[in-house]
Structure 1
Amino acid sequence: MAPRYGWYGDDFTGASDTLAVLAQRGQKAILFRGIPTTDQLRRAGDLDAVGIAGASRAMAPGEMTAELLPVAAFFADLGVRLMHYKCCSTFDSAPHVGSIGHAVSVLGGAFPNALSPIVGGQPNIGRFCTFSNLFAAAGTGGEVFRIDRHPTMSVHPVTPMAEADLRRHLAAQGLARVAGLHYPAYAEGADALDARLGTLLADTPDAVLFDVSRVEDLAIVGRLIWQAAEREKVLAVGASSVAQAVCAHWGAEPGPSARLAPSEGPVFLLAGSLSPITRRQREAAVSYVKLQLDAEQLARDPAYAAAQAEAIGVDLKAGRSVLATTAPEGGEGDTTLPPGEVAVATAAFLNAVLAKAPVKRLGIAGGDTSSRAVQALDLWGLAYLGMPSPGVALCRVHSDAPGLDGLELMLKGGQMGSPDLFERLIHGD
């Protein structure tokens, strides 16, 4: 039978988080690096959910079209009932880069349901959507800010969030008529809520944005999405809360989290994030040899990159874990290079290090960094191993390259993870 759930992540960290959500709830799921071959699908076995990890968050609209049209065709042919475009939980995007509205326009043709649901909020990682306005915590358990006043996301170096009302934010990206279904309606009961949604759909909106302000909202939203998907396959947009909502409706509850085992050998951790959260994790990582890389030299000077890779390889071969950072010490970007160029150079550097000293556990921090770096690795799929911190997945690499197959890979967005995350990547829980 066809998998009932498909997802495309606009970056690798987010895609792996959705993999974790589904696997924790008993769904047989795998995340492919790109559109899988028939042989890779066969090797993956029977699946409830199939994911594709991409990098559309960092793409211009034209690039997104070329990326997403084959994705739409693949999932439509696969027969999934629900296609989930997994965006960042903070919805940071813009008309010119990572446009969520453009993604909907490209993917929506293959999933022509009258309901185009957008799920705002993911409470377990401190994301809350009320009356269509998005709020986000500053780090795990941190103070909650309206997204346009968030200390990091309001000044994001690529896609700063200047509007908290997601209807207005998405209108600038081509979704001019987004209707909001607000959380007080969830208390009205199923029949009344169905009628309210029907009234909204009668006005043929471009999409319907669902509030999620608490965990209890998820099953309610999941029922509305899944009953639409049972009638006609549907495209849903949002963070991993889309998977949480549908699984809650299915009655698929998360199982106990597996403890993180100590690493077998040294860890290499590559951090490209400018986030204060990642900076604090780096400061707490006392068990690593720390190396500050010059991003511009890494991109422009092959001799510099080769020398740094050689030095890291020496430490790793000697059994010393290494944390290499491309973000400046002060946390503010001072390079003249475009972020995409830095990410590409970082990915090439990662390959060079692994060629010098293969490791059994690897960590990558930063959404764009993770996406580019994983694309540069010779792997075809990821399977879930555990969740060291909310929103952070540890995965097993599937690869035809013997040195990579079985590698344990942690992918982390800049805003995610506890302060001691990097230390626990070595020592376990």
Structure 2
Amino acid sequence: MAPSYGWYGDDFTGATDTLATLARRGQRAFLFLGVPDSRHLAEAGDLDAVGIAGAARTMGPAGMRAELEPVGAFFRTIGVRILHYKCCSTFDSAPERGNIATAIAVLRNHVEHPTVAVIGGQPSLGRYCAFSTLFAAFGEGGEIFRLDRHPTMSRHPATPMTEADLRRHLAFLGLPDVAAIHSPLLIQSADRVHAQWERASDGSSAILFDALEDSHLEAIGRVLRTVSRQRSLLVVGASSVAQAAFEETYATGAQPAAEAGPVLAFVGSLSPTTRRQVAAARSYHQIPVSPEELISDGAYERVADMAARMLAEGRNVMVSTAPENGEAPSAAVADLADRSAVLVDRILDRHPVRRLAVAGGDTSSRIVGALGFWGLGYESQVGNGVAVSTARSDVASRDRMRVLLKGGQMGQEDLFERFLTR
């Protein structure tokens, strides 16, 4: 049977969160790191859901179109009923960077239904959409802020969110005429919700759903399943789309045995959450690297040698390029993610490990792409919104490596310490 669900993650960390969501709901899911060839597709086995991890979140419109056109064609060819464009749960996006409206313009040509569904929240991660306005939790206490007043997201170094009304935000990106289905309707009968979808579809480019709690996702899911059985459908949102699309959950079973040997961690995230996690990572020898050092060949080789030597001694190593004050690097070091990827590749060439953790959405995308993996399977959950994956590679020393990829806002404070038991 062909997979019914396909998803594209606009960064690697978000793509793995959707992989975990699907696996924990009983679906046979696998995440490819590019449009797969027939050999790798066959090696992944029978699947209910197929994912492709990408880096559209960091791209301009032309790059996004070139990236997404073959993705849409692939999903159309294998016949998915729901095509999910997985964006960040905070929808941070700008006209010239990771433009969600550009993604919609490309992918809607590869489904049958002319109207796009957008799910505005992910309650499991503290993201709530009410009357089209997005709110997000912050910090250990989980205080809720409107997104344009959020201490982190309103000041994002690349895509600051200055508008919390998602309809206005999408219009600013280039998607006008977005209708809405708000939370009071979602608690009514399935027939009434579906009838509103049909009415709103007439003349609207997209329909935005509120999402404040799991019951709202259940109501949205009933609409998505009904509509997609008739015509294939493009759905935009966080992993809440996968939560809505599939009803059944299952127990994940026993924790897999921990891998032997040291852990290599690389931190490129600027978020306060990640800085707290780094401070709590007491079992790692930490190697701070300034942006200037990372682009200097001499310092670059010194760091690679130092990290490899410590790993050979059996020590867990954390390399971090994130400044303690969280300030964004200058435009002169805009290629930091690419240099970070080559650095990690060289460390692993000098001393292979079986476990790798990477913090930072853009950084994760570049590093995983540079390591020669062709896919990721779900292994376990290590924190809220953070999964451990089993990486597949044609290179024997890297095949079936356990990999943790986390976005800046994700995970508990002891995340890196907990990864040592995986």
**Shift in Å, 1:187:** 2.2
Check 1:80–1:162 CA distance in 2 against 1; reply closer, same or farther (3 A cut).
Answer: same
1:223 aligns to 2:222 (yes or no): yes
1:358 aligns to 2:357 (yes or no): no
Which runs of structure 2 are paired with 1:39-58 in the superposition (5 Å)? 39-58=39-58
Aligned to 2:418: 424
Give the match's secondary structure for 1:384. Answer: strand
CA contact (8 A) 2:291 2:329 kept: no
1:268 aligns to 2:264 (yes or no): yes
**Shift in Å, 1:274:** 0.2
AA aligned to 2:239 is: S
1:314 aligns to 2:319 (yes or no): no
Check 1:148–1:298 CA distance in 2 against 1; reply closer, same or farther (3 A cut).
Answer: same
AA aligned to 1:302 is: D
Identity %: 50
- In the comparison of the two structures, how many residue pairs are matched? 422
Counterpart-to-counterpart distance in 1, 2:200 and 2:208: 11
Give the match's secondary structure for 2:389. Answer: strand
Check 1:397–1:157 CA distance in 2 against 1; reply closer, same or farther (3 A cut).
Answer: same
1:413 aligns to 2:422 (yes or no): no
CA contact (8 A) 2:101 2:170 kept: yes
Counterpart-to-counterpart distance in 1, 2:340 and 2:179: 41
CA contact (8 A) 1:119 1:210 kept: yes
AA aligned to 2:197 is: L
Counterpart-to-counterpart distance in 2, 1:272 and 1:226: 38
CA contact (8 A) 2:134 2:146 kept: yes
Aligned to 1:346: 340
Which digits, 9 at most, give the CA deviation of each residue in 1:126-149, with x for residues without a partner?
111110111111146521111111
Which digits, 9 at most, give the CA deviation of each residue in 1:261-284, with x for residues without a partner?
544211100000000000000001
**Shift in Å, 1:259:** 3.7
Aligned to 1:376: 370
**Shift in Å, 1:201:** 1.4
Which digits, 9 at most, give the CA deviation of each residue in 1:367-412, with x for residues without a partner?
0000111111111110000110011010001111011001000000
Counterpart-to-counterpart distance in 1, 2:257 and 2:128: 32
Aligned to 1:303: 298
Aligned to 1:289: 285
Task: Give TM-score scaled by structure 2 length.
Answer: 0.98
Aligned to 1:76: 76
1:115 aligns to 2:110 (yes or no): no
Aligned to 1:395: 389
Give the match's secondary structure for 1:172. Answer: helix
**Shift in Å, 1:345:** 0.8
CA contact (8 A) 2:190 2:222 kept: no
1:326 aligns to 2:321 (yes or no): yes
Moved more, 211-220 or 133-142: 133-142
1:335 aligns to 2:333 (yes or no): no
Give the match's secondary structure for 1:346. Answer: helix
Counterpart-to-counterpart distance in 1, 2:9 and 2:63: 15
Give the match's secondary structure for 1:97. Answer: coil
Task: Give TM-score scaled by structure 1 length.
Answer: 0.96
Counterpart-to-counterpart distance in 2, 1:258 and 1:128: 32
Counterpart-to-counterpart distance in 2, 1:110 and 1:174: 19
- Give the CA RMSD over aligned residues: 1.3
CA contact (8 A) 1:383 1:395 kept: yes
Counterpart-to-counterpart distance in 1, 2:280 and 2:406: 16
User: Structure 2: 5+ residue runs without aligned partners?
Assistant: none
User: Structure 1: 5+ residue runs without aligned partners?
Assistant: none
Which digits, 9 at most, give the CA deviation of each residue in 1:91-112, with x for residues without a partner?
0000110000000001111113
Counterpart-to-counterpart distance in 1, 2:285 and 2:224: 48
